[in-house]
């Protein structure tokens, strides 16, 4: 039975209304922009790394509920984890929103709330924009990320 609440779960509505880690970080080590020209979603990620770990991360920008909640949840999940773990989580999240493969709810935690996105092909980019931006930032790229 179709239910729009499968997409707009309470966690997503909450993180859209009160995004965590929202705001510019003046002393970030890495800053990268992400942009979805199709819908106009824009965000900037601010990352501080220390000893191969993400010691702090924040974002700002504007976009739909899916993109804001995704960035909020992602930044929560990234704080304090190693760069290798971040890369693993990036791949797991990619599978979560693009495939029907099983996923580990315990590992993904609140991120699993975004699983509903895969039933909305037009909205997958909204959820993944911040993730692609993070991925590029951690690879040391400096050109803004564009998803279309």
Q: How far apart are CA 86 and CA 91, in angstroms?
A: 9
Identify residues 9-28 at the interface with other proteins (CB under 8 A): 13, 16-17
Kind of pairing between the strands at 145-146 and 41-50: unpaired
Q: Does 144 bind other proteins (CB under 8 A)?
A: no
Element (H, E) at 10: helix 10-17
Q: How far apart are CA 78 and CA 54, in angstroms?
A: 7
User: Which of 64, 98, 103, 146 lies at the binding interface for other proteins (CB under 8 A)?
Assistant: 64
Phi, psi of 43 (to 5 degrees): -150, 155
The least CB distance from residue 46 to other proteins, in Å, is 21
User: Which of 63, 93, 132, 136 lies at the binding interface for other proteins (CB under 8 A)?
Assistant: 63
User: Which of 23, 24, 31, 38 lies at the binding interface for other proteins (CB under 8 A)?
Assistant: 38
SS3 for 8? coil
Q: Does 97 bind other proteins (CB under 8 A)?
A: no
- Sites of contact with other proteins (CB under 8 A): 2, 4-5, 7-8, 13, 16-17, 38-42, 62-66, 120, 122-123, 126
């Amino acid at each position: 039975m179709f239910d729009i609440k499968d997409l707009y779960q309470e966690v997503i509505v909450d993180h859209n209304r009160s995004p965590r880690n929202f705001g510019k970080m003046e002393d970030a080590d890495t800053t990268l922009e992400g942009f979805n020209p199709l819908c106009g979603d824009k965000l900037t990620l601010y990352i501080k790394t220390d000893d191969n770990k993400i010691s702090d991360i924040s974002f700002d920008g504007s976009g739909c509920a899916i993109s804001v909640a995704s960035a909020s949840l992602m930044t929560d999940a990234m704080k304090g984890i190693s760069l290798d773990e971040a890369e693993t989580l990036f791949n797991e999240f990619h599978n979560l929103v693009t495939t029907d493969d099983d996923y580990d709810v315990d590992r993904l935690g609140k991120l699993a709330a975004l699983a509903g996105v895969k039933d909305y092909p037009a909205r997958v980019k909204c959820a993944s924009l911040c993730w692609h931006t993070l991925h590029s930032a951690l690879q040391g790229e400096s050109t803004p990320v564009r998803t279309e």
